[in-house]
Structure 1
Amino acid sequence: MLPFAQGQLAWPDGPALFLRARDGAALRQFPLAQLVCEQSFRPDAELLERAGLRVVADAANDGARYPLVLVLPPRQREEARALLARAVQLVAPGGIVVAAMTNNEGAKSGEADLKQLTGIAGSLTKFHCRTFWTRPLGETVDSALLAQWSSLDAPRRIEGGRFLSRPGVFAWNRIDPASALLVECLPTDIAGHGADLGAGWGFLSLSLLERCPGITALDLYEAEARALTLAKGNLGSVTSSARLDFRWHDVTAGLPERYDFIVSNPPFHTQSRADRPDIGQRFITAAAAALKPGGRLWLVANRHLPYEQTLNDSFGEIRVAGERDGFKVIAATKARR
């Protein structure tokens, strides 16, 4: 927001669009009644909603174009280029795109990419971040490059065509080795109504249903809507009678159901890759609160993560079910009393 605060850019009188929007004090210097926020990560979307801002899942659905498009490109290069291309496509003729990235998440590359696509009118650096913006857009856009970049984060088949994934989601182009270890350690007698916390593109859930015929229902919880959509596709052809429910939900806020079992490969860092073991700890406490007495949690984590005390405080029985390549699988049973 710095170029607006300094008067180098003017805030529009009409609508504006914010891709990958996040709330913050700097944003609140400006009139926001006509601001449309697109955010697929549930915790950030909830903060925007609580602030009274309009949040949409896909800004392209209503066909509107905007005189100003703000964008916070992600760290993953293909996803970031695709998002810059979307921003350009959603700008009204004569409108501008303004982007910002932190220096340690590829700000220099992001500025170079937008310059290659549209040209750059200006940039500012402060707070270990870089903000850069276009001239009023018209014929200066490289239409061939725009078409190429627009498809960079499109869903695609991975692992020999077995699964659908896309750049930007966790372990997007491979089976995560921690999840693979967890699947190997799961017994076949898991049964009843269960949940997959942090389900990603659906590998754990799909493996559970293939391995455990006694499962009657499975709820997939995932904070990133882009990943949850992939999970729906990947589980769409599964041969199981289990009832499936896909929930765009922040697990750290707690769970609304009671379960016979829970599996999880919880995140332990933020979207910016900063270490946050407290996220995994909150997954554990949420799982413990949601499990029925005698219910079981199957969890995989890096060996170094400080989860033992949280597990000891939350469960009656804990054991290490497997270890490999720096990962450990924990089987925890909730006390029956």
Structure 2
Amino acid sequence: MSDPALDALMLPFADRRLAWPDAGALFLRAREGAALHAHAPRAGLVCEQSFRPEHDSLQRAGFTVQAQGEDTAPLVLVLPPRQRDEARALLAEAVARTAPGGTVVASMPNDAGARSGQADFEALLGPASVLSKHKCRVFWAEATHADAALAQRWRALDAPRPILDGRWTSRPGVFAWDRIDPASALLAAHLLPTLSGHGADLGAGWGFLSSEVLARCPAVTALDVVEAEQRALDCARANLQAHAARVALEFRWLDVTAGLPARYDFIVTNPPFHALRGEPRPDLGRAFIAAAANALRPGGALWLVANRQLPYEEMFDARFASARLVAQQGGFKVVEAVRGR
């Protein structure tokens, strides 16, 4: 799959405007792709990625990858996300992880905030060198004269914080980070209180749906909270702490589409239908359904909410003994699908 922002990020090295340091580099929010293979020596490159599918892709490609760390390097590459507070925090993190005299290089698509991203970059690091290509901007500067006070303020923007009158903890960039997603709320409202045994929440985000399962279904004895984004999973862990004395909780940093490691009596999910960079991916929902079908015990139930137009019915017919439409509201549908005995 093409990755224009990654292609643009490597331009200064392809054009020899920047030299790759012998001491190596650090790549924050790293993504695997052809440009990285072509222009980034693997020796000395440390990649950081908290989103499990991208993390695993980098690992399979042979790169050194970690979810988070404290390494510093003379060159720090970064692909800032669209959400501005999260992006500012990541730029501040890049400055903090740059060795003395080192350089920060960032790339963003034009339609995902490149202009404001460059403005933030220059507010933090001073005037930047800029190239435009692939409908993206790449900008770079030495970190020597970075605004330390601004970097400190921006770095704190990624910290988990209270939301919704302090009832929950979340952070910028997590899905529906400062609100309750209406699709998840619809699913929660229609869950049967008779759900019991060992369940899982696939794509749990910051933990709203898991919390509703535990509050509404007293016969649940164990719940696996499964999430691909470690930053979200950390918030879910904090939000579900009050239930830990009654229910066995497992927090699993996993790519659901790669399969699940346990068997369940029930599964709830509000599966994603966009990829990390925002492109439509209805196949992700189908992969979640397939993973759930494989992981459910005979007679176990999948409770799913999705946009009404997403064509998941063939999957239910193929992988489950029965499926029923529980509710339709606000463009969403709730489905219960039962695995055959």
Q: Secondary structure at the match of 1:152?
A: helix
TM-score after normalising by structure 2: 0.94
Q: Give, in whole Å, the separation in 2 of the partners of 1:44 and 1:105.
A: 19
Q: What does 1:116-195 align with in structure 2 at a 5 Å threshold? A: 116-134=123-141, 136-138=142-144, 140-195=145-200
Matched, 1:55 2:62: no
Distance 1:99 1:265 in 2: 32
Aligned length: 331
Distance 2:143 2:238 in 1: 36
Report what 1:27 is aligned to: 36
Match of 2:305 in 1: 300
User: Which residue number corresponds to residue 4 of structure 2?
Assistant: none
CA-CA distance at 1:324 after TM superposition = 1.4
| Aligned-partner Cα distance in 1 for 2:244–2:117 | 43
2: CA distance between counterparts of 1:98 and 1:263? 40
Q: Which residue of 2 aligns with 1:211?
A: 216
* Offset, 1:299: 0.3
Distance 1:222 1:256 in 2: 13
Aligned partners of 1:322 and 1:7: how far apart in 2? Answer: 58
| Letter matched to residue 172 of structure 1 | W
Q: What corresponds to 1:42 in structure 2?
A: 52
Contact 1:185 1:321 in 2 (8 A): yes
Q: What is the distance in 2 between the residues matched to 1:247 and 1:41?
A: 12
Structure-1 residue corresponding to 2:6: none
Match of 1:87 in 2: 94
Aligned to 1:18: 27
Code of the aligned partner of 1:5: A
Q: 2:87 aligned with 1:77, yes or no?
A: no
Quick one: which amino acid aligns to residue 132 of structure 1?
A: F
Post-superposition shift, 1:59? Answer: 2.2
Native 8 Å contact 2:74 2:102 kept in 1: yes
**Is 1:4 aligned to residue 10 of structure 2?**
no
Would you say the 8 A contact 2:55–2:67 is kept in 1?
no
User: Displacement of 1:25 after TM fit?
Assistant: 1.8
Match of 1:198 among 203, 214, 234: 203
Partner residue in 2 for 1:115: 122
SS in 1 for 2:77: strand
After superposing on structure 2, the runs of 4+ consecutive aligned residues of structure 1 that deviate more than 6 Å are: none
Q: Which amino acid aligns with 1:31?
A: P
Amino acid at match of 2:151: L
- 2:292 is the counterpart of 1:287: yes
Partner of 2:7: none
* Equivalent AA in structure 2 for residue 58 of structure 1: Q
CA distance in 2, matches of 1:330, 1:240: 31
* Identical amino acids, percent of aligned pairs: 60
Helix, strand or coil for the counterpart of 1:113?
Answer: helix
User: Structure 1 length normalisation: TM-score?
Assistant: 0.96
Deviation of residue 335 (structure 1)? 1.4
Query: Using the alignment, how far apart are the partners of 1:294 and 1:121 within structure 2?
Result: 60
- Structure 2 unaligned spans of 5+: 1-9
The aligned residue for residue 318 of structure 2 is: 313
C-alpha contact 1:105 1:272 (8 A) present in aligned 2: no
> 1:326 is matched by which residue type in structure 2?
G
Q: 3-state SS of the aligned residue for 2:162?
A: strand
Aligned letter for 2:32? D
| 1:251 equivalenced with 2:261 (yes/no) | no
CA distance in 1, matches of 2:36, 2:294: 37
AA matched with 1:124: L
Whole-Å separation in 2 of the counterparts to 1:330 and 1:211: 18
Instruction: Give the deviation of 1:22 after TM superposition.
Output: 0.8
The one-letter code sitting in structure 2 at the alignment partner of 1:96 is T
Find the residue that maps to 2:30 and give its secondary structure. Answer: coil
Alignment match, 1:228: 233
